[in-house]
Structure 1
Amino acid sequence: MTQFPTTNLPNTQRGQKALIYCRVSSLKQTIDGSGLDSQEHRCRRYAEQHGYVVEKVFTDDVSGGGDFLKRKGMVALLEYLRRRRTTDYVVIFDDLKRFARDTLFHLQLRAQMDRYNARIECLNFRFEDTPEGKFVEIIHAAQGQLEREQNGRQAVQKMCARLEQGYFVFHAPIGYRYEKVGHHGKLLVLNEPYASVIKEALEGFASGRFQTQAEMRRYLEGCECIPKNAKGQIAKKRTADLLKHPAYAGYVEHERWGISFRKGQHEPLISLETYRKNQERLNGKPLVPTRKDLNKEFPLRGFVVCGDCGHPYTASFTKGKTKYHPYYVCQQRRCDSYGKSIRRADLEGAFETVLKHMTPSKEVFALAMAMLKDQWNKREEIQSTQEKEHQKALAEIEQKIEKVIDMMIDANSDIVRQNLTKRLAQLEKEKLITEGQINATAQPLGSLESIARTSLDFLANPRKLWESERLEDKRAVLKLAFAEPWAYHRNEGARTPNFSLPFKALDEISPPQKEMVPRGRLELPRA
């Protein structure tokens, strides 16, 4: 049995009350190992040999670097001592490094312990209240800080080396997880179902399906698999972080460590073009956010406007004798329709009639498909032209890179070299983006039906998407089918809507007598 050095306490101090503090550097050590258990066991044996009575044990599973007040276990220990400052305690540590691996924080923590009349004892170090003892104690604390900073430096160097090779080294973004893959070691791999949800959100923002970050955030909040806070919400900053994260496009970057934008080793979730569009939208003029009070009960609120004044209707439930009744109403005081309610069934029924008349006949849709296919086939020529333009742009960028490198070699000023280094990093990023555009244009187009199946289904029958239970689908119908808000008069009914370009085109090629398509799935014409 291991014998610890004794403190030679007089018998009158046997039965001294003691507290134990144990700490490991990470939660993984707590789960996978027995670090905390072994520390507590050793400390209890030490207390038993010295005749101490252990009153409570405090633990932490965070790193020793930084402010000790950020450690929950240490904060709880200090608070315990503060509330019982009339009682003299012995605080037992397994190792001096568990106390504080930072010289400044070590001294501050010692002062806190002294303030609460607590005596510190350590299994591998003896505290002495002498000038020599204090000097040795500070040297040991400084040594612990040196080891911590050296370990941190080595960790950063290894992470930088991995980043330079294209490996993502930080906490896996949502939609990914780490997995050991052959010679790669730990590599980001897609993690379903999160990956598909994030992909749809990022591509939806790039395409304009989500006009604002708020709409994208509400979509994510409606997905059960996405983690949220206690209120079932997602923070605003988190949405922006998702859109800015280059890892989703298959790239890595860390400016603070000098790692420029470069191709990653992991599989991308979205294309580089989609990522670029999202950055342009983030840096552009923000759009007016969608109203927060949209809900499934009134999907047309904010879209349908008053036929008299042109302001959007609001909506609410009015209490009747036995139940509540839903109404749309104009709240513009100078409007002739101010305060006049419209039954939800009447207004939304009129809207569904408009959608019904938007459904083209089979003949019209077949003709439109034939015209669309003809234009689709011509895209190969356009694609070839775009590829040549991108190749020309790539050659110009490479020439600029060569010039910047020559200027860096001839530069005599450190400031000039720093500016040229930044310019070189920007050109390298532009080169990667242009190469991504070339790869995108080099991909075969495929058939129109296989690529645009969802869009064609919508054009064939927009009412089908409107009948979805999801509010996002209903809002998509309003954005995709109409060029501007729809006006409805409380007495005269629906005004002529202004449809979006695709439905205008279908209307222009329609014969005078329109044949309505029966309910059910419309089969697309096959080549």
Structure 2
Amino acid sequence: MGNLMESMLAAFAEFDNEIRLARTTGGMVARLEQGAWPHAAPVGYTRMKTATGIVSIEPSEDAPKIKQLLEEFSTGAYTVQNARDYAYNIGIRNRKNGVRTWQMIKDMLNNPLYAGFVTSDYIGGRLIQGIHEPIISEATYYRNQAILNGSLRNFSCSAEEEWPLRSGFLQHICGKPMTGSSPRGRSGPSPRYSCMFCRAKEIGSPVSKMRGLVHQDFMDLMERVRPTEDAQKLFKHIVLREWNNEARDSHNLARTLDSEINALQDKRMRTLDLYIDNKISEADKDRKIAEVDNDITKIELRRAEITDDIKDKEQVIDNALLFMSNPAAFWNLAPIEVKRRIQDAIFPEGLEYDCETGFRTAKLAESYLLIQKIPANNAEIPCLVAPGRLELPTSGL
């Protein structure tokens, strides 16, 4: 009799635990479906409650560091191991102020919370738009996923960023390309552009110059070839009109990609239905799901890029106008890839440099010369006379 009672009590206790678990799970699912986050806050966030009492998260004082790490990784210039070192250098560390593990950094890169989504095993791993403030854009998140799963190749950072004018663009008066290096002197490294083919004693003038001075000479040169105000006005008109057309195309493409994503999600559900009905093996199910998820990630990356492209069109226009109005400042602030594209666009044949007197006569690109020839009289340019109002599409999709 005693054993029977013990078994009955144990059964009741187990049943009670299952009821509590079901209630807890149901509550978790309901909150997640609302976009709330009932779990612990990740690094860069703190727990909070909304005015209606919903548990969620909000950016903490560490959020800017997390944003910096995730956006830097999205450039493709880092492996996860590199990102771990980068995180430590900018102050993202473990509780003992040490280096975070490789897996910790990878989990951060994979975490959709930072892009404004919530997800959990309780909701089948689906991404739901959260009510919390994102730290990074969707495009950055999906780009990081593509880098991690190998859909996008990454490359290693190099010292090239410090030497934008070398690799054949900057030529000495002898016609040979100048190199860049940092020989050490008594006061430390002395970064200089130099010609390896000439000797100062033989030509009677310096064959090297401090990198900072050469860069300043280059920016001064770009100031001298800056387009006229009339050219800038025409450029603004053209850019606004072109972006207006491209934004419409982007909206249409976004709708098409949404349809493709929905079709792939339906395919994913059909695969699960086949597995549930024992019509395909678990291995086939996993393979098909992985293929579909990979396709969805690629399309979502493109979709997010289009969304960001539309949202950022005004910033892009501002950057284009800054380039026209102040090309030297734009070049100075740009990353290495953009610097070199600017250099090649304006000076396609490179530049000849005298370490004593500076740049020699520069040959500009034909397109840049054409821009500079815009007449001073705006009346001669039909598109500059009382231009019609350009309606830019809103960012909502």
> Is the 2:231–2:374 Cα contact (8 Å) retained in structure 1?
no
Give the deviation of 1:262 after TM superposition: 1.9
Determine whether 1:336 maps to 2:197. yes
**1:482 is matched with which residue?**
343
Amino acid paired to 1:328: R
Pair 388,452 (structure 1): closer, same or farther in 2 beyond 3 Å: same
Structure-2 change in CA distance of 1:379 and 1:231 (3 Å): same
Residue deviations 1:13-48 (CA, integer Å, cap 9, x gap): xxxxxxxxxxxxxxxxxxxxxxxxxxxxxxxxxxxx
Aligned to 1:213: 78
| Map of 1:277 onto structure 2 | 143
Q: Secondary structure at the match of 1:270?
A: coil
1: CA distance, partners of 2:335 / 2:277: 61
Residue number in structure 1 paired with 2:6: none
Alignment of 1:63-102 (within 5 A): none
1:420 shift after superposition: 2.0
Matched, 1:291 2:159: yes
Cα distance in 2, alignment partners of residues 508 and 242 from structure 1:
49
Q: Tell me the alpha carbon deviations over residues 134-169 of structure 1, each in whole angstroms, 9 at most, x when there is no partner.
A: xxxxxxxxxxxxxxxx9xxx8xx8699469656556
- SS across alignment from 1:482: helix
Contact 2:322 2:330 in 1 (8 A): no
Query: In structure 2, how many angstroms separate the alpha carbons of the residues matched to 1:212 and 1:459?
Result: 29
Q: How does 1:48-447 map to 2 (within 5 A)?
A: 161=28, 165=33, 168=37, 172-181=41-50, 185-192=54-61, 194-196=62-64, 198-199=66-67, 202-203=70-71, 206=74, 210=75, 212-213=77-78, 226-227=91-92, 241-253=107-119, 259-265=124-130, 266-282=132-148, 283=150, 284-291=152-159, 299-300=162-163, 303=166, 307=171, 310=177, 312-316=179-183, 318-319=185-186, 326=190, 328-330=192-194, 335-337=196-198, 342-344=208-210, 347-411=214-278, 416-417=281-282, 419-420=284-285, 423-424=288-289, 427=292, 445=310
Any conservation in 1 of the 2:254–2:306 contact (CA below 8 Å)? yes
Q: 1:44-88 CA deviation, whole Å, 9 max, x = no partner?
A: xxxxxxxxxxxxxxxxxxxxxxxxxxxxxxxxxxxxxxxxxxxxx
Conservation of the 8 A alpha-carbon contact between 1:205 and 1:212: yes
Distance in 2 (alpha carbons) for counterparts of 1:455 and 1:234: 40
With the length of structure 2 as denominator, give the TM-score of the two structures: 0.60
Say if 2:37 and 2:55, in contact at 8 Å, map to a contact too: no
**Letter of the aligned partner of 2:192 in structure 1?**
Y
1:462 and 2:327 matched: yes
Which residue is 2:371 aligned to?
509
Change (3 A) 1:354 1:217: farther
Whole-Å separation in 1 of the counterparts to 2:363 and 2:65: 32
Measure, in 1, the Cα distance between the counterparts of 2:135 and 2:336.
25
Amino acid at match of 2:233: A
Aligned residue type for 2:128? K
User: TM-score with structure 1 length normalisation?
Assistant: 0.48
Contact kept? 1:251, 1:261, Cα under 8 Å = no
Greater C-alpha radius of gyration:
1
Q: Residue 318 of structure 2 is aligned with which of 440, 453, 461?
A: 453
Contact 1:175 1:198 in 2 (8 A): yes
Q: Distance in 2 between matches of 1:431 and 1:211?
A: 20
Distance between the aligned counterparts of 1:422 and 1:487, measured in 2? Answer: 55
CA apart distance, 1:248: 1.5
Q: Look up the equivalent residue of 2:47 and give its one-letter code.
A: Y
What are the Cα deviations for residues 288-341 of structure 1, in whole angstroms up to 9, with x where unaligned?
Answer: 42229x7xxxx547846563654741024544xxx789451559xxx4248975
Report the structure, 1 or 2, having the larger strand content.
Answer: 1
| Alpha-carbon distance in structure 2 between the residues aligned to 1:388 and 1:397 | 14
1:372 Cα deviation after fit: 1.0
SS of match in other structure, 1:267: coil
The answer to whether the Cα contact below 8 Å between 2:184 and 2:190 also exists between their aligned partners in 1 is yes
Greater helix share, structure number: 2
Task: Return the alpha-carbon distance in structure 2 between the equivalents of residues 186 and 275 of structure 1.
Answer: 24
Counterpart residue type for residue 371 of structure 2: I
Structure number with greater CO (CA < 8 Å, separation at least 6) is 2
Going from structure 1 to structure 2, the CA distance change for 1:444 and 1:355 (only over 3 Å counts) comes to: closer
Shift of residue 371, structure 1, vs aligned partner:
0.9
Q: Where does residue 92 of structure 1 map in the other structure?
A: none
1:311 and 1:161 map into 2 onto residues whose CA distance is 64
Secondary structure at the aligned position of 1:313 is classed as: strand
CA RMSD, 1 decimal: 5.3
Measured after TM superposition, the shift of residue 247 of structure 1 is: 1.8
Residues 506 and 254 (structure 1), Cα distance of their counterparts in 2 relative to 1, 3 Å cut: farther
Change (3 A) 1:402 1:238: closer
Report the Cα offset of residue 382 of structure 1. Answer: 0.6
Deviations 1:193-216 (A, max 9, x none): x4345445544654xxx4513898
Deviations 1:94-129 (A, max 9, x none): xxxxxxxxxxxxxxxxxxxxxxxxxxxxxxxxxxxx
Q: Contact 2:78 / 2:156 at 8 angstroms: preserved in 1?
A: no
Q: Which runs of 5+ in 1 are unaligned?
A: 1-149, 515-524
TM-aligned CA deviation for residue 233 of structure 1: 8.7
